[in-house]
Amino acid sequence: MNNKRLLMLVEIAIFAAIGIILDQLTFTLWAQGGSISLVMVPIILMSIRWGLSAGLATGLLIGVLQMMFGAYILHWAQALLDYGIAFTVVGLAGIVRQPLLTAAARADKTKIAVFIVIGTVLGGFLRYVAHTLAGVIFFAEYAGDQNVWAYSIIYNGTYMLPATILTAIVAVLLFTSAPKLLQAK
């Protein structure tokens, strides 16, 4: 195994561990689950630093670790949606990697920030979709007499929107103040 690949794998493990720690430092809104945390920051960082595969692997590893450390699981498919898929898709933020690296080469901090926000919003939105689907399928009883889709959209939006905004702000501050983090060495 070459040194660069080994470094990527080590960083995936380290940033997944950091993600789990950041997920413990949360602001919990609801008793049924959902919290505002910085768990997506390490996934975004890895997807931009190393590319899609590293971002997806980091997200998947974080999801698996969350299942190991006390996830609320009703059914295997709900675990797959709420943990496996929800955190893996955050790694798709890496699709902005190439234009972001181009902006970084030009030292254009505005474009760097724009691409980071686009990637973060994409990853956060896809995570939101996974949680919403899990809510509709597995947590419909909490909706009561309300429309289950409206309930799940609103419920998951109350924590995913602030979490995505917070992640975008932290990622922009991180990458614009330390642009060397953008490039894997």
* Domain CATH for 39: 1.10.1760.20
Range of the domain at 14: 3-182
Residue 91 near residue 50 (C-beta atoms within 8 A): no
CA distance 22 to 176: 21
Mean pLDDT across the stretch 25-39? 75
pLDDT class of 177 with cuts at 50, 70, 90: confident
Mean pLDDT across the stretch 139-166? 91
Alpha-helix runs per DSSP H in the chain: 3-24, 40-49, 52-68, 76-79, 86-88, 97-105, 109-138, 148-177
CA distance 43 to 123: 9
User: What pLDDT is attached to residue 142?
Assistant: 82
Burial profile 157-184: b = 16 or more Cβ within 10 angstroms, e = fewer:
eebbeebbebbbebbbebbbeebeebee
pLDDT class of 144 with cuts at 50, 70, 90: confident
Give me the number of domains the chain comprises. Answer: 1
